Every structure is written in structure tokens, then in C-alpha cells.
Structure 1
């Protein structure tokens, strides 16, 4: 029947993903050997010695064909990446952790075999990053194939058709790798549903048993966080006999979500949600600082020539210094000098006031966004170009070096803006301000002042090294498109 076919699809997907991971680990191993043997010795011969062509040949069949792939696949399976449906970025985060743990285990295994086999330490450390890249590419290729073959899609029924259901539907459409296909929804107020034109409304909440028995859908999502406890219990009892999995979207909007841990108090029939504040621990703050310094020191040789050219262009374009120093509020409410390339004329405050006095629409825009989206009389010709590509922020790498800023963090706010921030100020100032941040890659200047505050708070609540990495990657994409730059 239908349920047997759905189970068969699940097993086919599991088998194909497992086989693909095995072969892409093998590809990663092959590329690691190629890089170590043929590429690195050409780049720096005195430092990277030649790797023997028959390196590990005696152990190749067992070690390369079975042991290493098994270790990687074991950690991938432990992260439940063969059964969980995650956004691609989150899938990559768990894949990275699996690769790190696998590399550590391989190092341990080789250490125990020290008297048995020769080792290239550099080759071993190449395994992790190269296999991580091949696995991510492999997952993208494999899931694209499964989607094309109509195997990865999972039919789900949505209980609730309000704003929460609309957000989920948007998410499923934006990230097809999740594989959720909404076949319909139940809603007690279908006439006001924002998704009534995007999916079928199959009935009311009370029709859940009939709809599930007729459609034979095995996965149900309750996306109605406003339901009373009794209504939720009633729905759960009605769904349980029919569904293989029930997903509930709780009313936790605005609450930190990235680091929630769940404990069940089984006999009390209660659940404890532990919300960890990652930036409260000194270890994570030290880790963030180390990552900042490493990235800046690597980028500095590339950026210094560009910064010198920009400084000369600014001096030739308008009178005044190339660097603009503005006092901003840093971590712990400490004020610090924030550096930027000057993009405005010297008398910018007077120019702004005169412009706002003469233009009511611009004054309203300034009050809402604290920026002018259109023609800004304060900005110089070179300044427009710098702002378009966000190059005016480059001097802030000096702030990162001295420890007053971070590469990624909340916006560096002016002292005059602290009153507008209100109760969220204490949360935002847990972290150093960042050159880029969550709101900069989600609309930039198109966001209102209040929306920026909410996004900065969301960043603090859900910080992780991977979150910082994804923001930096998205920053490159946003800057290249010049989207939201004013």
C-alpha cells in the first residue's frame, strides 16, 4: 500500500545517501593524497617534502577502503544526517563536526599503529577539510538527484494555516533540500488564512482523523502555537494512531533556539528546555577572539594595498582626513573610537540638517531607518562608491586587532542611540560590535532601526562559531550584489 511505498522511499534514500557518502569520502582521500604528493611540493619544495608514490600501499585496501570511510560514516550517522531533514547550512555544520571528530579518531588510530606504518602528519590533517568539502558537494549532488527522482520529498499535513504555517511554507519553498511537500492544511478559520491560495484547506481541526485515514499521510506538523493546552492534547491523541511522526511548532518566537537542550521528566510528564548562553562562557569568548585575530592576520596583507589606494582617492576627491573616527558603544558599555574611511564632506551635520528641514519625506525616512536611502547630500563621490561596496568599513580591522571590535557582531551603536535601544542594550553589549553582522546580511539599510535591534539580539541569543562563519560567507554574497547599500 501507500505506507509501504513511503517506507521503501525512506530506505532507498538512506541507502543512496550512505553509498554516496562512502564514495565521496574516498574521493576526498584521493584528493588529499594528490594535494600532498603533487601540489604542495610544487608550491614550497623545501618545506613540503616528496611523499613516496607507494605511500601506505601495504595498508591501502584496508585503511583507505574501509577504516577511514567507516569512521567518517559512523560520526555522520551519529549526527543523524541520514534521517534528519535540515537546511543545507545546518547540515554542513553537523558535517563539519563529524569530520573534526573523525580526523581526531584517525590520528588516534595512527598513533596506536606507530610502530606498524609510516605516516605523513600533513596528509592526515588534510583529510578533514578536504573530505568535508567533498561530502558537502556530495550531499548537494545526491539530494538534487533524489529530489529529481521524486524520492526525497516527504508529504506532510499542516494543522494550522495562519502566520506560523505561512512561515514554514516559505521555508520549505526556499530550501527544497528539506524535502517537505505540504499536501494540505486544516484550519478552523479558512477564510482568513494567508496560505489558502497556496495549498488546499482540507477541513477543520476536528476533521484530522478522517483526513489522515483517507490521505494516509504519515507526517503531520501542528503549526498553531496559539492553541490551548487541552486543544493541543486533543489533536495529539487524534493524530497519534495514524502518523509515524508528529512535529509541533511551539510558541517560542523571540526565545533563543540554537542551543536548546531537552530533558524529559518522564514520571512527571514534563519537559525541561535548557537554553545555553554561549557568549556567557569565557571559553567561547576566547575562541571568538582567536578566530578574529587569525582571520584578520591572514587578510591584512591582501587588504593593506587596497586601503592605501582608497585613502589616496579620498584625499584627492575632497578636503579632510582619509579616516573618520566616530565614538561608539562597545562591549560592557565602554566607549571606543570606531574607524572608517571618510565618505562624507566635512560639514556633513549641517548639510544633513538643512536637507531634512527642506524635505519632509527624507526626515521621516531618517527617523525610521537612521539612514537616507536616496540621494544623501553629505556623501562624497568616492564615498558613494565605498558605501556601495562597503569598503568604508575596512579600517575597522584595526579595531578588531586592538580588541574593541569583532569581525562579526552587533552593529556598533552611537552613544546617542542607546536610549532608542531600550531594554535590549544589555543583551547587545554582551558581545563586541562587528564589522559585519546578522542584520547586514538580511536587508542591510533596508531594515528599520527596530528590526536591526531585534536581529542583533537574535544573533547574541544564537551565537556559535558556525553562525559567524555563515554570516561572513553571506556578507561576501551581499556585498557583491550591492544589495541594501546606501
Structure 2
């Protein structure tokens, strides 16, 4: 029997040709076995690395036990059990940040489960406890990397997540459908929309599958119903929808969307949210963690900064490192350090271009950046900006406490002034950072509206998990130079 959540991948008994049945069977197989297989592979790599890194423990004892087979079997079983219980094999509706959190939790719990499995089979695990811990940590990191590599492949073959039916037809439903189409990694693949009352306010980007009852008869056992809570569907109707799985998406407005806990208040549904960005303990912990990362990175970066300083001075006379005043925490000015990538008369060059080129003026007004900027130094300037190496001196700002490693980007006064006053106050309530959410998502491709949306999401949903996610995504974004100007 195929579980209901996976029924969309199972071959049907009639109405499909042999080729379609084969493709459906292939998708179902990929969906069911890919992630468990990756975890088993990660466990083998973790064991191999741990036994290689700790050979003394591996070979200890009068009659050395060959740990490879029992440890690999126990760790593989532990990872499969932990990830199954945590829900990592249910790829429908879990975002990348939530999956990262669950994988880290799994890596922490896996050593205990591994020791328990070994003890159950009368295998003494105490001498190998360091091996088990190192193997679990390595397997967790490898599993995270393998999932990141394989996820796009599974998405491309329709083997990630479940089919999704959008319930509703108004602006909220259209926006929800567009977000699901834009973010296939969420694992909710829109196949159409259903609504008892069709709204003509906005065109839906999906096919109309009829009323909710008609759509349920066709797809109720295999599709996840994703309900746009905008007044078209009453809250009392959600529990009566004829679908195995239903996800209700309320219009959150300015509410955080992460760290939300549900509370039953005498029959009423309550949402409990916490503003961790203002919690003293969390902010101190963030400071400790960013120093642990920044100090060694800064020491490694010092020789690189020295070489780049020499190259800049060879191309353009004047200081190689310049100081720019940016808006910091509580609106206080921050002296941000950068390697100079522009001519010393950059402001005059910009003013001349904007005065004579309307297209450049329009681009500047929208992005506050230019794709072809006459201020940038030839060769070295473009390289530094695309690689983000010009921002290496800002690690000193982090050590001084002027900036955080992760946070909203520190902007000059003229940039901040383009935002609304309410968002300006929200932005100044946290310390700006060297990298942040909109840098890894869009970089310079984000216009002012998108910058505001991403920074608002980061501040309202901040957690150490979110910072860890941004740190892990920053390196690929920099190496690919996606959207950099």
C-alpha cells in the first residue's frame, strides 16, 4: 500500500500508458528512497572519517574490535530513526531553515541512539564514544551537504514534496500560489486551485479544478490542500475539508512567521510569538558566537587584505581603505571600513552620469546601485565588488562591536532615507551586519521594496538558527557572485 501522502507518485492502475506509469513509479521511488539512502551514505562517510581521524581509539585494546561494521550499522539505523521521527523524510511544507534545524537536532541526538543500539546488541561502545560523536557530527554535516546537492535534482524530477491544491481564488490565494511556484524547495507543488466562490479580483496563475468537492474527488487522497485564509474559506470549514492533509495559511500581516507556537485558549486558537532580537541573553550569545567565527577568519584575512591594498594603490593613488559613515544601531553613525573600489572623485562622476542619463537615474532610484558604474576602478574594483573581498576590513568593525556578523546591511543616510519611517525605526532596532538575508537571496538584484521585505522578515523572525542558515548560504552566494555589483 502506498501512503496517502505519497499517493501522487504511485502508478495508477488505469488511464495511463506504460511510459507514464514508469515515470510515476520512478518519481515515487526517488521520493521514498533518496533521502534515506543519502543518510546511510553520510553515516558511512562519518564512520570512515572518524576512524581515520582517531586511529588510536580504533586500534586500542588487546584484541581490537573491527568497529567499522557495527558502528556503521548502528549509526545508519540511528540516523534513519531520528530523521524519521523528526519528520525530515516528509518533504512537503518544510522550508530550508526548518530542515537545517531538524538536521542539527538529529546530529545531536544520534550519538545517544547509536550507543543504545550498540548496547542492545551487547557491543561495548564506551571506548569508541569519541569516535561515535565525531562520526555523528561528520555524518550530519555530510547529510546536509548531500541534501543541498540532491534537492534540486529531486525537484526537477517531481520527486520532492507532494502535489498541492490551493483553496481560494482571491488576491491572497493568487499570492500564495505564486510563492509556492517560486519556492519549489518548500515541497508543495501547485497542481491547480479550487474555490466554491470564484473571485474576479485577480487572475490565478493555476488551472481551475472546479469546486472544492470536485477537486477533492479527484485529488483528495494524494494532494495537500493549502488554504488561503482570506475570508473566502471560513475557519470552521477547514476541519471539514475532504483532504487527508490541510495547511491553513493565514494573512499574517506583520506577524513573525517563524518561532510561532500554537496555544489552545478555552476553544480559541492563540499564536504565541517572541521577539528574540530584543532578548538580552540571545544577543549576548550571538555576540560570543560571532567572535568565535570572526577572530580566526580575520587573522586569515589580514594577509589577503595586505595584498589587495598594494594592488589598489598600484592602480589608483590615494588611500586603499576608506571609511564611510553608515546608519547603525539606534540610528547612531558607524564608521564602516571598506577596501576602496572607486575613483577618489566618485561622487562627481556619479552626479555627472545621473544628470545626463535618464536610464541610469531610474536604475539608481530603484536599486541605489548601477550595473555599469563609472565610479568603479577598472579591473580590481569590479573584481573586489563581485567577490565581496572589498568588505573584508569590516571584520574589524565586527570585532569592535560596531557591526554584527549577520544583520541588515548598514546603509548610508541617503539610502535609509528612501525607506518609510516605520521601517527605518524597525531597522535601527538591531545592529547592522556584514552579511544578511537579502544579500544571500538577492544581493544587488533587490530593489528597495524587496530589501525592505527581506530585512523585515529577518528582524521579526531572528534566531540563532536563522543566523546559522545565513552563514552557510553566504559562501555559495559569494562564490557564484550572484547579483553582485
Q: TM-score range by the shorter chain?
A: 0.7 to 0.9
1:250 matched residue in structure 2: 250
**1:230-249 deviation per Cα after TM superposition (whole angstroms, max 9, x unaligned):** x4146436x43x22222211
Q: Distance in 1 between matches of 2:373 and 2:267?
A: 60
More displaced, 129-138 or 254-263?
129-138
1:313 matched residue in structure 2: 311
Q: Distance in 2 between matches of 1:466 and 1:483?
A: 23
| Deviation, structure 1 residue 21 | 7.0
2:217 matched residue in structure 1: 213
2:234 matched residue in structure 1: 232
- Helix, strand or coil: the match of 2:411? coil
1:35 matched residue in structure 2: 49
Q: Distance in 2 between matches of 1:434 and 1:169?
A: 32
Cα RMSD after superposing both structures: 4.1
| Deviation, structure 1 residue 423 | 1.7
2:22 matched residue in structure 1: none
| Deviation, structure 1 residue 277 | 1.4
**1:277-318 deviation per Cα after TM superposition (whole angstroms, max 9, x unaligned):** 122222321222222222223323432222111101111111
| Deviation, structure 1 residue 431 | 2.7
1:157 corresponds, among 165, 184, 199, to 165
Q: Distance in 2 between matches of 1:5 and 1:124?
A: 34
Compute the TM-score of the two structures, normalised by the length of structure 1. Answer: 0.79
Q: 5+ unaligned residues in a row in structure 1: which ranges? A: 42-47
| Deviation, structure 1 residue 165 | 3.9
Q: 5+ unaligned residues in a row in structure 2: which ranges? A: 11-24
Contact 1:407 1:434 in 2 (8 A): yes
1:45 matched residue in structure 2: none
Compute the TM-score of the two structures, normalised by the length of structure 2. Answer: 0.79
| Deviation, structure 1 residue 320 | 0.9
Q: Distance in 2 between matches of 1:373 and 1:298?
A: 34
| Deviation, structure 1 residue 184 | 2.6
Q: Distance in 1 between matches of 2:296 and 2:464?
A: 18
- Helix, strand or coil: the match of 1:92? helix
Q: How many residues align?
A: 462
Against the structure 1 CA distance between its residues 444 and 215, is the aligned structure 2 distance closer, same or farther, given a 3 Å change threshold?
closer
| Deviation, structure 1 residue 201 | 0.7
Contact 1:14 1:83 in 2 (8 A): no
Contact 1:157 1:217 in 2 (8 A): no
2:473 matched residue in structure 1: 474
Against the structure 1 CA distance between its residues 423 and 110, is the aligned structure 2 distance closer, same or farther, given a 3 Å change threshold?
farther
Q: Distance in 1 between matches of 2:151 and 2:477?
A: 26
1:379 matched residue in structure 2: 376
Q: Distance in 2 between matches of 1:28 and 1:341?
A: 41
1:92 corresponds, among 96, 100, 114, to 100
Against the structure 1 CA distance between its residues 155 and 454, is the aligned structure 2 distance closer, same or farther, given a 3 Å change threshold?
closer
Q: Distance in 2 between matches of 1:338 and 1:144?
A: 37
Q: Distance in 1 between matches of 2:484 and 2:148?
A: 31
Contact 2:36 2:80 in 1 (8 A): yes
Against the structure 1 CA distance between its residues 53 and 147, is the aligned structure 2 distance closer, same or farther, given a 3 Å change threshold?
farther
More displaced, 210-219 or 467-476?
210-219
